């Protein structure tokens, strides 16, 4: 039996812990004036105005001129630095003091008396100078204290993931914590991976002790967004929604990431800048805009807002494993599309094109297609459909989407500093399930309307937040093949054993992995577990991972079709053929299979012969 499937957890990796600079003892200083000059340099590095720093350095020199011992002067120096750091850049101060390890112990010393009013004045002047610098920098100002914090919540989820090997049960309960943010309509926005398969969800406000029960109102696994409703809506009387930005941020704009990462209980805030904006894949096959930031995002930040000024620019959801300071947020534009989609109570999904494309950068390819120098676009390598009515053809060159030109890499310009894949505009230009394209075909320009949809049909589809369907017939369990089932077999430690074995036997789980249905509604049916123990299985090899080809000579289209064929069978024997090479064809006495099923279910602790959808088919005409 292969190991349990790996569950995709976008809730990131543990944060880096240390090592921190060692604390060294204070030096025995003979060159006191050199020490004072070094202090002057540090104070300037903390962004204090030079005039202010010079004034305070003179005050620090007074004890030495009066014959004060160097050790006492050193304590005064550290007191000065400690006082200066409070109203200035705290993050910079911490980094400088850690980097200069020898100052760490000096900060523990008791400073000699420095006029309190003088230090307070230094703090005010430093803060004013820093404020003036920020105002002229072009970066977004930090939000007012409490505006954001009051809208960010901690999310607690208890989840039971599907057991794809035993689809009649679920994996043991697991708990996770993340973040969320209050939005309009008395709702909370978070990540889908925080609440998928959750049996219990609770939220807790910042600095609050009580947890409030919540329910999942809508979820979109593809774009990783979810909306929660609270049982006690009086919560929103004191926790207003956080406003969202109506435009994308600029590259290098300042951003603050808020959330509840591991390592503490209270709200965490990290600071960074916007590094990159792209239109890229989220969870296959869904794509969307994604913003990269360098603010620290760690486990538990998922679902927390990223804020520029006093408005949210996106929702944290992931970071790049193995890299430093590369975190990702879902921009407000994607959030708005999601909220508009669920306004009718149903999530339909994002429209997308599923044609295979290739760039037009190679000169020989341009010559082969007989394209003029002024023609730019992306080449249709394989149209999504081979139907003659489908509007795209192989070797078509897509030059425009709507009125927007497409370049030879398939990119479009959104601004002077931002290019994204042209498929970004599908979600903006699609009307009634079609998107307008201009193509060059055999040297002529043609306008076409290409059908787009939210789902990519596959004979092995993803679960998309659902539990797998199943049906038990005698000692044989059957289930719909899913991407999660195959990935559990072919990745990780199990993959080194199962992948070669499945490929050698030409098992459709690998040979048809990326195929579209050959007929409408086709989905592979697999045996997800070994036989249940019973004498009816005597002498047969284990059919685990086998894909059902036919029952009594009838080709099986999907699991529902299999249940129909078994239900309506009148023959004495049930003959099951499998699709892999080198497998067996199994014959079972139909009457004995029916009689043994209930006993087998009871002996193995299986509560139901099938999932609700399959039982509805089984009982339809009985």
- The position carrying tokens 């994996």 is 171
H, E, C per residue of 427-450:
HHHCECCEEEEEEEECCEEEEEEE
Active site residue 16: no
Query: Which residue is listed with tokens 């048809």?
Result: 512
Q: Count the Cβ atoms, other than its own, within 10 Å of residue 264.
A: 9
Q: How far apart are CA 171 and CA 389, in angstroms?
A: 46
Whether 123 contacts 86, CB under 8 Å: yes
Residue 235 tokens read as 């919560």
Backbone φ and ψ of 170, nearest 5°: -130, 160
Which residues partner with 200 through β-bridges?
158
* C-alpha of 111 from chain center: 49
**What angle in degrees, to the nearest 10, is found between the helix axes of 116-135 and 70-85?**
40
Contact call for residues 489 and 436 (beta carbons, < 8 A):
no
Residue 467 to residue 616: CA distance in whole angstroms: 16
- Which are the contacts of 412, defined by CB distance < 8 A and separation ≥ 6? 401, 404, 405, 406, 419, 420, 421, 422, 424, 425
Pairing mode, if any, of strands 212-220 and 268-281? unpaired
Which one from 79, 302, 469, 580 is the annotated catalytic residue? Answer: 302
Determine the Cα–Cα distance for residues 513 and 478; give it in Å rounded to an integer.
19
Residue that is written with structure tokens 């774009």 in the block: 223
Q: Is 193 a catalytic residue?
A: yes
The pair phi, psi for residue 205, each rounded to 5°, is -75, 160
CA distances from 464 to 3, 100, 130, 217, 516 (A): 22, 51, 49, 16, 17
The CA-based angle 518-519-521, given to 5 degrees, is 115
* Terminal-residue alpha carbon distance, the chain: 36
* Catalytic-role residue among 79, 85, 193, 611: 193
213 HSE (CA, 13 A, CB side): 3
Instruction: Return all residues near 600 (Cβ < 8 A) that are at least 6 apart.
Output: 472, 474, 475, 532, 534, 606
Single out the catalytic residue among 163, 224, 253, 341: 224
Helices (H) and strands (E) in the chain, counts: 16, 27
User: For residue 402, how many C-alpha atoms fall within 13 Å in the half-sphere facing its CB?
Assistant: 12
DSSP category for residue 244: B
**Is residue 127 helix, strand or coil?**
helix
Tell me the three-class secondary structure of 65-114, residue by residue.
HCCCCHHHHHHHHHHHHHHHHCCCCHHHHHHHHHHCCHHHHHCCCCCCCC
Find residue 380's DSSP bridge partners. 357
DSSP string of 375-399? ---EEEEE-S---TTSS--TT-EEE
Half-sphere exposure in the Cβ direction for 27 (13 Å, CA): 10
Half-sphere exposure of 186 (CA within 13 A, CB side): 12
Q: What is the DSSP letter of 170?
A: B
Among all residues, which ones are annotated catalytic? 193, 224, 302
């Amino acid at each position: 039996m292969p190991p349990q499937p790996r569950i995709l957890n976008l809730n990131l990796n543990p944060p880096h812990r240390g090592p921190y600079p060692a604390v060294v003892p204070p030096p025995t200083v003979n060159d006191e004036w050199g020490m004072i000059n070094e202090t002057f340099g540090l104070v300037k590095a903390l962004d204090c105005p030079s005039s202010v720093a010079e004034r305070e350095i003179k005050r620090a020199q007074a004890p030495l001129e009066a014959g004060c011992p160097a050790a006492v002067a050193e304590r005064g120096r550290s007191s000065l630095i400690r006082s200066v750091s409070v109203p200035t850049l705290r993050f910079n101060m911490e980094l400088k003091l850690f980097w200069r390890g020898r100052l760490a112990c000096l900060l523990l010393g008791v400073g000699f008396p420095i006029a309190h009013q003088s230090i307070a004045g230094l703090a005010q002047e430093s803060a004013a100078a820093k404020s003036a610098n920020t105002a002229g920098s072009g970066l977004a100002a930090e939000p007012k204290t409490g505006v954001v914090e009051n809208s960010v919540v901690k999310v607690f989820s208890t989840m039971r993931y599907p057991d794809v090997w035993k689809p009649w049960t679920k994996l043991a309960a697991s708990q996770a914590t993340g973040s969320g943010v209050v939005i309009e309509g008395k709702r909370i926005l978070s990540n889908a991976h925080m609440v998928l398969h959750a049996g219990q969800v609770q939220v807790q406000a910042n600095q609050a002790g009580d947890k409030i029960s919540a329910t999942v109102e809508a979820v979109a696994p593809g774009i990783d967004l979810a909306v929660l409703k609270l049982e006690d809506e009086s919560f929103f009387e004191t926790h207003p929604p956080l406003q969202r930005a109506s435009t994308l941020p600029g590259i290098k704009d300042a951003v603050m990431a808020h959330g509840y990462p591991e390592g503490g209980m209270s709200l965490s805030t990290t600071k960074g800048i916007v590094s990159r904006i792209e239109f890229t894949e989220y969870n296959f096959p869904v794509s969307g805009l994604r913003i990269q930031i360098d603010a620290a995002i760690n486990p538990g930040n998922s679902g927390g807002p990223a804020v520029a000024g006093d408005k949210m620019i996106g929702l944290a959801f992931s970071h790049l494993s193995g890299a430093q300071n590369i975190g990702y947020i879902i921009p407000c534009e994607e959030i708005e599309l999601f909220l508009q989609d669920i306004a009718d109570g149903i999530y339909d999904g994002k429209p997308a094109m599923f044609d295979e494309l290739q760039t037009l950068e190679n000169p020989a390819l341009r010559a082969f297609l007989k394209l003029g120098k002024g023609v730019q676009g992306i080449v249709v390598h394989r149209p999504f459909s081979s139907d003659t009515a489908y509007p795209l053809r192989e070797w078509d060159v897509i030059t425009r989407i709507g009125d927007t030109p497409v370049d030879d890499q398939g990119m479009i310009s959104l601004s002077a500093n931002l290019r994204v894949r042209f498929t970004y505009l599908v979600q903006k230009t699609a009307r009634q399930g079609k998107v307008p394209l201009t193509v060059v075909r055999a040297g002529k320009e043609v306008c076409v309307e290409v059908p787009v949809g939210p789902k990519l049909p596959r004979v092995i589809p993803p679960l998309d937040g659902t539990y797998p369907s199943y049906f038990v017939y005698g000692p044989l369990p059957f289930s719909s093949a899913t991407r999660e089932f195959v990935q559990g077999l072919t990745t990780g430690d199990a993959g080194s054993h199962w992948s070669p074995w499945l490929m050698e036997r030409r098992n459709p789980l690998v040979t048809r992995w990326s195929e579209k249905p050959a007929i409408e509604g086709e989905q592979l049916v697999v045996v997800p577990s070994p036989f249940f123990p019973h004498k009816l299985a005597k002498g047969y090899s284990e059919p685990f991972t086998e894909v059902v080809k036919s029952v009594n000579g009838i080709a099986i289209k999907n699991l529902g079709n299999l249940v129909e064929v078994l239900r309506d069978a009148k023959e004495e024997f049930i003959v099951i053929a499998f699709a892999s090479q080198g497998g067996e064809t199994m014959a079972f006495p139909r009457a004995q299979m029916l009689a043994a099923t209930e006993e087998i279910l009871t002996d193995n602790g299986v509560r139901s012969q099938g999932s609700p959808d399959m039982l509805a088919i089984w009982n339809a005409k009985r």
